[in-house]
Structure 1
Amino acid sequence: MIVWSNLLWVLMVIFLNTCSKDVHSSIAGPEYSVQIPLAGNAWIVGQDQKTETTKLTDAGIRKWDNHDDKIRIFFYSDQSGDIDLGLKVRQEQGKSVIRAIYENKVNTITVQNPGWSTLPAGSVHLEGAGYHFIDLEGIEKDGDYFADVSDLLISGMDSEDLVFVRDEFYWGRRGPSVHLNFPIPAEEKDVEYFYSELMIPSGQDVIGSYFMANGF
């Protein structure tokens, strides 16, 4: 009876350990101090939204099925420095291979865990303050999709050193808006109309711009 009891206990430990690995596992890597959600900081480069299935949702990248869909993740750094990159990913259909690219530095990542995993994505050097981006490319896949990706992870800098959209993803992705108010003399009681005009410099009407000449 004691032998069977001990055997049952060992089997239960193995079962629970296996289940926990399916939920979330990590490959040994640095301790990441910054978590950048793709929901508010990534774009699918060159995608025709009418025909493609890759989706950028409030939970990150889903249904990433096209080799030509490049995922571009932006953030701003106020200083130079060496950082380690990681990704929070999962692959529910076998195994896939993706690449994380910063400038000319390429790191290949194999994703084969059905649960969410933290995987290293290389080490890079940020040169100077400014905007930086990491590209993700799909290389190989066993199933229909390359991977689900929720976050870019960074080690080597504090969260305060980086600027990115942390929440309120709708407003972060839409871009800033500026409203101008003009003082009206108190004695002006009967105003027929107001006139205003905007001059947008060439090349500054980028996607996400919001211009309003007359409004509230």
Structure 2
Amino acid sequence: MNKLRYSLLPGLFAVAQTLCAQQSPVVLPGFTAYAVPAEQGVRISQRQGVTQWKDSANAVHFYFHTSATGAIKLALQAKSDAPSRLRVSLNGREKIVSIPAKDSFATIPLLETKLKDTGFYTLVLKGLDKQGEVYADIKGLQLEGPATKNIQFNPKPWRRSASVHLGYTPPEGAQVEWFYGEIRVPEGQDKIGTYFMSCGWHRGYFGMQVNGPAERRIIFSVWDAGKEPDDRKLVRYEDQVTMLAKGDSVVAHGFGGEGTGGHSHWVYDWKAGETYRFLMHAVPKGTTTQYTAYFFVPEHNEWKLIASFRAPKDGKYMGRLYSFLENFSFENGWLHRKGYFGNHWVKTPEGQWIELTKARFTNDATARAKDRLDFGGGAENGWFYLWTAGFIPADAKLGDTFERPATGRQPQIELPAF
């Protein structure tokens, strides 16, 4: 009897573990949700989650990724100032749910379904009708069942998607005086809150950005010396980047918040589907280096000076060359965006042009922490590409190497005389 009883214990223990896992709910905080198609008539904040949801034109979406199949049961931690109704949908199932008037959050059952496949899923909450001011304030989305095993979601209020990079390595011993690159953003991929950066190096970056519905910029920045992360007023004068020149209509000033340094931008209505050209120049002198950025304006068929900065405690040519794609907007961090990066070349002080046809893929802390799994990169149609967001499966991992075919056509550049 004892032997039989003990032989059953491992199986009983495994069953108990499974039941325990099924009974332990997973909660997606309200601040991880997104308002779709736009965060208008609803507010999503770190402290309070989903609040002030007054407009039915915008649904509330929760995204998660499953590594297991099986049953899943959902509930909403919500309250409302007066009775309201929501339409809930997940995995092809829909249900209308009533939200009672309450001063405190209650756990309201939503629906149950069976997930037959692993991957990304979206819970959609749509406001139907309300008797008060809001459809619901939402503290969190509760999930339980076998399908929640190893479930992934972003647990942080940082709702931007992962940043992704391409690292270029010139031949060993080659000094980089000039760095040339091109960007093409496909139509529909130029989402607000996206920075497509072509020419980055150890002291700065140069690319183009979508700042709003009616504003786009060409941006060039150089970091100060030292490690002050936020406030440029704390940076000693001898460690600060100095602006030497800037182009017509270019705005230039200091910056902080992500390191400190000198920033410049030119408001320019660049177009998706067009190819744009970027050129960086480095002139070391003693312990400083002068960095100058030029942008080719296709409408004028000429290169425009963006700005020139002198960087202290440098004295080197450009190193650690890279491009990147960044989503800097929290509100639309669910929107897919993609850019093509290509025809990168460097020129040595001796006048030799070298084409860069290989790139190494890297990503940021958001990706490395597995807060977001939707990012990627590669090479296609003669270009490198990078993408982020959209809650679709990754197609690249940290350290992957991509290669594009060489064109053999070095840049033809005629800079303006000053």
TM-score (normalised: structure 1): 0.70
Q: Which 4+ stretches in 1 moved above 4 angstroms?
A: 197-210
**Structure showing the higher strand proportion among its residues:** 2
Aligned equivalents of 1:61, 1:105: Cα separation in 2: 23
Contact 1:54 1:63 in 2 (8 A): yes
- Based on CA coordinates, which of the two structures has the bigger radius of gyration? 2
Tell me the SS of whatever aligns to 1:133. Answer: strand
Aligned equivalents of 1:34, 1:165: Cα separation in 2: 12
Deviation, structure 1 residue 35: 0.7
Q: Deviations over 1:40-82 (max 9, x none)?
A: 2x221223x5xx3211222321111122221111111123211
2:131 aligned residue: 142
Contact 1:174 1:208 in 2 (8 A): no
Aligned equivalents of 2:149, 2:196: Cα separation in 1: 30
1:82 matched to 2:71: yes
Deviation, structure 1 residue 160: 5.1
% identical equivalent positions:
27
1:12 aligned residue: none
Identify if the C-alpha distance between structure 1 residues 122 and 55 changes in structure 2 by more than 3 Å, giving closer, same or farther: same
1:43 aligned residue: 34
Aligned equivalents of 2:115, 2:35: Cα separation in 1: 23
2:165 aligned residue: 179
Contact 2:30 2:49 in 1 (8 A): yes
Contact 1:64 1:148 in 2 (8 A): yes
Aligned equivalents of 2:136, 2:63: Cα separation in 1: 19
Q: Which structure ranks higher in relative contact order (CA pairs < 8 Å, sequence separation ≥ 6)?
A: 1
2:54 aligned residue: 65
Q: Partner amino acid for 2:130? A: K
Matches of residues 5-154 of structure 1 in structure 2 within 5 Å?
A: 31-40=23-32, 42-47=33-38, 49=39, 52-58=40-46, 59-91=48-80, 93-112=81-100, 113-154=102-143
Deviation, structure 1 residue 200: 6.1
Tell me the SS of whatever aligns to 1:39. Answer: helix
Identify if the C-alpha distance between structure 1 residues 209 and 164 changes in structure 2 by more than 3 Å, giving closer, same or farther: farther
Aligned equivalents of 1:178, 1:98: Cα separation in 2: 37
Contact 1:175 1:210 in 2 (8 A): no
2:178 aligned residue: 193
Contact 2:72 2:147 in 1 (8 A): no
Contact 1:84 1:155 in 2 (8 A): yes
Deviation, structure 1 residue 196: 3.6
Aligned equivalents of 2:90, 2:135: Cα separation in 1: 19
Provide the aligned length of Structure 1 versus Structure 2: 178
Contact 1:33 1:158 in 2 (8 A): no
Identify if the C-alpha distance between structure 1 residues 34 and 205 changes in structure 2 by more than 3 Å, giving closer, same or farther: farther
Contact 2:88 2:97 in 1 (8 A): yes
Identify if the C-alpha distance between structure 1 residues 176 and 208 changes in structure 2 by more than 3 Å, giving closer, same or farther: farther
Q: Deviations over 1:83-109 (max 9, x none)?
A: 000111111x22222222114322222
Deviation, structure 1 residue 146: 0.9
Q: Deviations over 1:2-29 (max 9, x none)?
A: xxxxxxxxxxxxxxxxxxxxxxxxxxxx
Provide the alpha-carbon RMSD of the alignment.
2.7
Aligned equivalents of 1:207, 1:75: Cα separation in 2: 23
Identify if the C-alpha distance between structure 1 residues 89 and 209 changes in structure 2 by more than 3 Å, giving closer, same or farther: same
Contact 1:176 1:209 in 2 (8 A): no
Aligned equivalents of 2:23, 2:107: Cα separation in 1: 10
2:199 aligned residue: 214
Contact 1:34 1:158 in 2 (8 A): no
Tell me the SS of whatever aligns to 2:31. Answer: helix
**Structure showing the higher helix proportion among its residues:** 1
Unaligned runs of 5+ in 1: 1-29
Q: Partner amino acid for 1:151? A: G
Aligned equivalents of 1:187, 1:162: Cα separation in 2: 47
Tell me the SS of whatever aligns to 1:174. Answer: coil
Q: Partner amino acid for 1:44? A: A
